[in-house]
Structure 1
Amino acid sequence: MAGIWLLPLIVLFGLAVYRLLQVGRRPPNYPPGPPTLPIIGNLHQIPAENGHIQFQKWAKEYGPVYSLILGTKVMIVLSSDQAVKDLLDKKSSLYSSRPETYIAQVVSGRHVVPGGYRVLLMQYGDRWRMAHRIYHSILNIRAAKSFVPYQDLENKQMLNGLLDEPDSFIDHLRRYSFSLTTQMTYGWRSDRLDNPKLKALFYNLHEFSKTMGTTAAALLDLFPPLRYLPDFMLPARRYAKQLHTVEKALHKGNWMEVKAKLKNGTAKPSLCVDLAKAQDTEGFSDEQAGYIAGNLLEAGSDTTAAQLVGFVQAMLLYPEVQKKAQEEIDRVCGDRMPDMDDEMDLQYIRACIKECHRWMPTAIMGIAHSVIKDDEYMGYKIPKDSTVVLNVWAIHMDPQRHKNPSEFSPCRYLSDLTNSIESAQSKDPSQRDHFLFGAGRRICQGMHIADRSMFLAVSRMLWAFRFEPAPGHPPPDPAALIPGMLVQPRPFPARIVPRSEKHAHAVRDHWAECRALLDEEAQWREIPRGMPLSTYEPPAAAEKEKM
């Protein structure tokens, strides 16, 4: 009798072992990729740091669309502009979700709200569509133009800071991007390098990025049963919850402060004024509002600062580019400081910014997408729920796309008169300038604001200063990056000096004029002339359906 029951058990055990051994294998109809091992697939081949280099090597070996098998998950890597256009842009309705990232969603409140509060990593659904509509409504071109007084003032304080403390240039660039973004988002500014909110934001962002990149975070994504372990066995999750507590208090606190100012009539123009109107229409919570605004603060502060640090690095390594850029500025502007009216006359400066985004992209591997149902491309199956990676570095460094791609050469863009939005919408993907801002429905909606911030910073820094290698120090290594979901150059010294006494006096005079507009707490005394309190444009019903 025992033998009757033993046979089915043996069969079941054999089936279980067979199915387990299939985990980690690449089905024959999937895109090609490196050889796999049972159960773990390609997990053992994913580098802990500088993964963009390995992903670029695989693109050269396996082509513009390849796959990685990561335990129970599938990753599809897009390494050509055409593949990005065909899938993320043209099929955006299928490719607009985000993969499940357990630790990241814990950080953004998954244990409070399903899917979490963080819009950047939120999966496709009603909650994300609502946030997307709001961003579309408040980050319009009218808003971008209306914030120029904020950008002008913060830029001039940054220049004055570089004059007084050039060795702290990274801190000044961070303060510039942070204070500019707090003005646009909340209506208040930060004049200090040691602002506690600034420190808290950058600390939390970098810790969040590092936690996302840990092996523990990857294992929790790839092997969900591990999530049932208690917190004392999962220090990464425990730390993520701590980060969320700090982050939520920061974002909600900033939001509630604006709401209080709106009630007493002291609010300055900001995106949160628009957000309050959207809250009345959409009915979302204060916690969600805090994160919608806070995600704008994170995106504007960290990315712009990192790109500007990359620009300074390029000026040290390519002095001939700096010389040519300053010759253009002198020819167009002479002794006066450049402003936004000069943008289209300073094409080499615009080309420098485009090249900076290409040469040192902060989102070096993009922000991963996820496909919501099975699809097919180039004869290969792309399975539902697979992670889809925009291999920004491989595309930017493709010699078929850019000659000598490792060189910083703005001449690539001298005939490109488009802004970031226009370039991203180009029908010919080979003509797109760069992929820093993503693709499809998940593309950064604040591109036009970023374009203006970068133009004012780059043009005026080059107008006012010379950037030289620090004496006694080796030149910075562009391959030395702080790792994470968003990378940035490792800190390096630089010698930053005024181009002349006339330029130095002009910087101080401009900042003195701006300082007169501020009160004793370094806030605007009154709303800048002609600046609207709100530019909110609620989307029509037809637009809501498309989003």
Structure 2
Amino acid sequence: MEGLALILLWVAIPSLLFSALQQLLSWRKRATSSQPKFPGPKQYPIVGRVHDLPRFSLWLKFQEWAKEHGPIYQTHALNNTFIIVSDEKIAEELLVKRGHIYSGRPQIRSLIKHKDGPAYSALMDRHDIWKTQRKWAHAAMAEAYKHHFYGHVELEMKRFLGLMLLDPARFLDYTREFCGRVMSRLAWDDATQGRTNGDSADQTLHCMSVSGPITNTMTPLWYLPFAINPWKQFEIKREAEQRAWWLCNFRLAKHRMLKGELPNDTWAYRYFEQVQREGNVSLEQEEEQEVFASCMIGFLNLVGVVTISGPLKFFLMAMALHPEWQKKAQAEIDRVCGDRMPTMADFANLPTVRACLKETVRWRSGVPLGVPHQAERDDEYRGVTIKKGTIILACEWTLNRVPEKYPDGDNFRPERWLEPGWPTYQEPLTRYPNFREGQSMHTFGWGRRTCLGQNIVDDETFVFGAASLWAFNSGPKICPRTGEQVPIDTQATNSHVILEPSPFKLDFKPRSAERAKQILEGYHSVLGELKL
């Protein structure tokens, strides 16, 4: 292995030297420029400022710099210029009001052709493929929300609770699988793909993250000859397998559609029905058309896993670490629902549950750096020229801790959404807080690149949060040897672009023997409807 590493290094040296020369010339040009610029940390020749950037929890460093340099500052990393924003009004000015300038996506070196499409709509540049897929996905998601996702969330929740009762130690696996199953049912009516869906999402996130392949930061290595390029070999294999999986599910759904067996509450049915309305009753298509559609549905399916499973895991952590709020939410659920499992019909009457969920996403954001935007042309802001290609990050971690809006921002305080006097309080409580509208919606991004998933996040997190609190009491795991609580590091994560917490341990116990019986009855009641 060491020999291979040395060979790769020697082969890469000419490319690395050329890149270094480019960076040196670029640095000298910046250093001698007299143009106004935003404040920022000290920069170094060639590399800019990368030597003290942590691979994990990069957002903490950005928060530290924001305290020193203000709500908008800039830094450089190799050949990229970054502008970091930690003020909502500035982010709105650049990313919303000037969204026609700042809605590009930066190149992720280790994710093949993501800017061109059709595989990853959220990571594409703004072109016709992106516009077509986004328009279709928006309409499909809106229609499903009208029907609260056809009851799939509640059905899968009953399965989840049954599994938790039988084997609570696997709560992290079951949580991600729950999200994968809901999305796979909506996409193709095949919940058995749920676990594969979660694993595929996790692999994709790895390949698009700074903490992933080294070629995302040492980009010259990407251009090594294919025969000695393990990163490109891996990515080509991974991407081909993912596309083949999406296409296989798409074709199986098409076969069921033609036989009249595909449920009309799936996104695949919606697509095929549109094709047939246009006159193609037999659904015969060129492979390019099939790939386009299978990627469109596949990515919509995949992104619904990674954006929800992390917040749900953090919610379980928050409830275990804050038993006073666990008890308040359970008292509310018992008063409203009694012995039955909560459903979306209880949404208006469970504001404490919604506040705990909303506060979880503020306290431990799933996207703490924000999703990067890229300037599509030159612009000027506050007298500073922002060059085409500059990457803009609205740092979610820092935005969620602005003292004027989020007092005591480092601590878990659901009352900020429930009690008048807090800056984030909104009425009526039958409507707020939620993930569809109102305060602190920047979690879902900005402007023309806003995530389309607010509605499913709202439904899925609510049902999951309310039902899990209805079913179980939870707390930190107790070490059988010492009798002490097993510590939980609330900031330990996988450090992907979209986070999940690192594995941690909790204890779950049914709230009563009667409640355990109800959980099992619910589980058995859905066995006939679910593919397990």
Class of the TM-score when normalised by the shorter of the 2 chains: 0.7 to 0.9
For the residue of structure 2 that corresponds to 1:376, the secondary structure is: strand
Q: Is the 8 A contact 2:48 2:78 kept in 1?
A: yes
Where does residue 181 of structure 1 map in the other structure? 183
Which one of the candidate residues 206, 223, 231 is aligned to 1:236?
Answer: 231
Where does residue 255 of structure 1 map in the other structure? 250
Q: Is the 8 A contact 1:340 1:452 kept in 2?
A: yes
How much has 1:379 moved relative to structure 2?
2.9
Rounded Cα–Cα distance in structure 2 between residues aligned with 1:363 and 1:147: 24
For the residue of structure 2 that corresponds to 1:102, the secondary structure is: coil
1:486 counterpart = 2:495: no
Q: What amino acid sits opposite 1:304 in the alignment?
A: I
So what's the TM-score if we normalise by structure 1?
Answer: 0.83
1:420 counterpart = 2:420: no
Q: How does 1:237-386 map to 2 (within 5 A)?
A: 237-268=232-263, 269-277=265-273, 285-386=289-390
Cα deviation 1:376-413 (Å, max 9, x = unaligned): 22332222121111201111122232111111111111
So what's the TM-score if we normalise by structure 2?
Answer: 0.85
How much has 1:31 moved relative to structure 2?
1.7
Rounded Cα–Cα distance in structure 1 between residues aligned with 2:258 and 2:31: 60
Where does residue 388 of structure 1 map in the other structure? 392
1:380–1:20: structure 2 CA closer, same or farther, 3 Å change rule? closer
Rounded Cα–Cα distance in structure 1 between residues aligned with 2:375 and 2:202: 32
Rounded Cα–Cα distance in structure 1 between residues aligned with 2:339 and 2:369: 41
Rounded Cα–Cα distance in structure 2 between residues aligned with 1:201 and 1:132: 21
Q: What amino acid sits opposite 1:189 in the alignment?
A: A
Which one of the candidate residues 47, 51, 57 is aligned to 2:58?
Answer: 51
Q: Is the 8 A contact 1:100 1:123 kept in 2?
A: no
Cα deviation 1:111-166 (Å, max 9, x = unaligned): xxx45621121111111111111112211155452524111100111011111111
Rounded Cα–Cα distance in structure 2 between residues aligned with 1:180 and 1:344: 23
Q: Is the 8 A contact 1:337 1:463 kept in 2?
A: yes
Q: Is the 8 A contact 1:97 1:123 kept in 2?
A: yes
For the residue of structure 2 that corresponds to 1:482, the secondary structure is: coil
1:88–1:26: structure 2 CA closer, same or farther, 3 Å change rule? farther
1:514–1:191: structure 2 CA closer, same or farther, 3 Å change rule? farther
1:503 counterpart = 2:515: yes
Where does residue 422 of structure 2 map in the other structure? none
Rounded Cα–Cα distance in structure 2 between residues aligned with 1:379 and 1:64: 16
Rounded Cα–Cα distance in structure 1 between residues aligned with 2:476 and 2:523: 27
Any stretches of 5+ residues in structure 2 without a counterpart? 1-20, 419-424, 427-431, 480-484
For the residue of structure 1 that corresponds to 2:81, the secondary structure is: strand
Where does residue 529 of structure 1 map in the other structure? none
1:171–1:228: structure 2 CA closer, same or farther, 3 Å change rule? closer
1:278–1:51: structure 2 CA closer, same or farther, 3 Å change rule? farther
Cα deviation 1:7-47 (Å, max 9, x = unaligned): xxxxxxxx999845526649542322111112222233432
Q: How does 1:118-267 map to 2 (within 5 A)?
A: 118-190=120-192, 195=195, 197-198=196-197, 200-202=199-201, 204-209=203-208, 213-220=212-219, 227-267=222-262
Any stretches of 5+ residues in structure 1 without a counterpart? 1-14, 424-431, 523-547
Q: Is the 8 A contact 1:103 1:212 kept in 2?
A: no
1:240–1:17: structure 2 CA closer, same or farther, 3 Å change rule? closer
Cα deviation 1:269-288 (Å, max 9, x = unaligned): 21122233456769972112
1:444 counterpart = 2:451: yes
For the residue of structure 1 that corresponds to 2:51, the secondary structure is: helix
Q: What amino acid sits opposite 1:219 in the alignment?
A: M
How much has 1:233 moved relative to structure 2?
4.9
1:22 counterpart = 2:28: yes
How much has 1:504 moved relative to structure 2?
1.2
How much has 1:515 moved relative to structure 2?
2.2
* Residue correspondences, number: 486
